[in-house]
C-alpha cells in the first residue's frame, strides 16, 4: 500500500457509532529506561499523543498514567502502565474493567526481540511469545484475545544477557529505523480504532 492510502486511513473517521478503546504502550517508568528496547511501547504512546495534538497523560489511576480523548468519533483511553513491565496487567486489566472495555478493544503496544529493529507485527490475538509484560496482561485479562502491535528491537548477541539486552539502548544505526517505526505504529493505532485491525495489518505490518 502506498503513502497516499495510508494517509486516507489516518484521516478517515468512522460514522457508525462510538465504542471505547484502551491503547496501552508497555515499558518501565523510570527515566533511566527512556529510549531502551523494552520501552518501545512507551515511545509509540509518545508519538501517538504528539500526532493527536500533544496532549499529555495528565491523570493517574490503577498504577498507570493515562488520558481520555477522541480519535475520530471513538472515545479512547491512552495508558502507560507504571507498574514496571512484568506487572503490566495490574494496570491494564483494572483500567479496562473500570471503563467496561472488552478485551478485543484493548490494543497493546510492545517490543519484540524476534523481529529486527524497525519491523512491525500487528495481530488480532496471540500468545505472549515469552514477553513478560504480555504474560501479565493475559493472566489478568484471562484471555489472549486482544490485539497487539509489536515492534522489532532485535535479538540479543550470543552471550549477551537477555535482561541487559532489552534494558539497553539501540545501536546508532538502528535509531532512525526505530523513530520511523514509532511513527508508523502510532498511525497503526489510529487506523485500528478508526478502520479496524485488518486495515491496520494490511497497511502497517512490515518486516525489515
Q: Which of 38, 63, 131, 169 is catalytic?
A: 38
- Expressed in angstroms, the distance from the first to the final Cα of the chain is 16
Could you tell me whether strands 64-71 and 59-61 are parallel, antiparallel, or unpaired per DSSP bridges? antiparallel
Fold classified for 18-204: Rossmann fold (3.40.50)
- pLDDT for res 55: 84
38 annotated active-site: yes
- pLDDT for res 3: 63
For residue 23, the surrounding DSSP H or E stretch is strand 21-25
Q: Which residue has the cell 529510549?
A: 35
Sequential pLDDT tens for the chain (208 residues):
566 666 656 554 444 445 799 999 999 999 999 999 999 999 999 999 999 998 899 999 999 999 999 999 999 999 999 999 999 999 999 999 999 999 999 999 999 999 999 999 999 999 999 999 999 999 999 999 999 999 999 987 777 777 788 888 998 999 999 999 999 999 999 999 999 999 999 999 999 8
Amino acid at each position: 500500500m502506498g503513502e497516499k492510502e495510508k494517509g486516507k486511513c489516518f484521516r478517515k473517521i468512522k460514522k457508525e457509532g462510538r465504542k471505547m478503546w484502551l491503547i496501552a504502550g508497555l515499558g518501565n517508568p523510570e527515566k533511566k529506561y527512556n529510549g531502551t528496547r523494552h520501552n518501545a511501547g512507551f515511545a509509540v504512546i509518545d508519538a501517538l499523543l504528539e500526532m493527536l495534538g500533544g496532549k499529555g497523560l495528565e491523570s493517574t489511576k490503577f498504577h498507570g498514567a493515562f488520558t481520555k480523548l477522541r480519535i475520530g468519533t471513538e472515545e479512547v483511553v491512552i495508558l502507560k502502565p507504571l507498574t514496571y513491565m512484568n506487572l503490566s496487567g495490574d494496570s491494564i486489566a483494572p483500567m479496562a474493567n473500570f471503563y467496561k472495555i472488552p478485551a478485543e478493544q484493548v490494543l497493546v503496544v510492545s517490543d519484540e526481540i524476534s523481529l529486527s529493529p524497525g519491523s512491525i507485527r500487528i495481530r488480532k490475538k496471540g500468545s505472549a511469545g515469552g514477553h513478560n509484560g504480555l504474560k501479565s496482561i493475559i493472566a489478568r485479562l484471562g484471555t489472549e484475545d486482544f490485539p497487539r502491535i509489536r515492534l522489532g528491537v532485535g535479538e540479543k548477541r550470543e552471550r549477551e544477557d537477555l535482561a541487559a539486552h532489552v534494558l539497553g539502548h539501540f545501536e546508532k544505526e538502528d535509531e532512525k529505523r526505530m523513530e520511523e517505526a514509532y511513527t508508523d505504529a502510532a498511525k497503526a493505532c489510529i487506523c485500528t480504532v478508526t478502520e479496524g485491525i485488518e486495515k491496520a495489518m494490511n497497511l502497517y505490518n512490515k518486516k525489515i
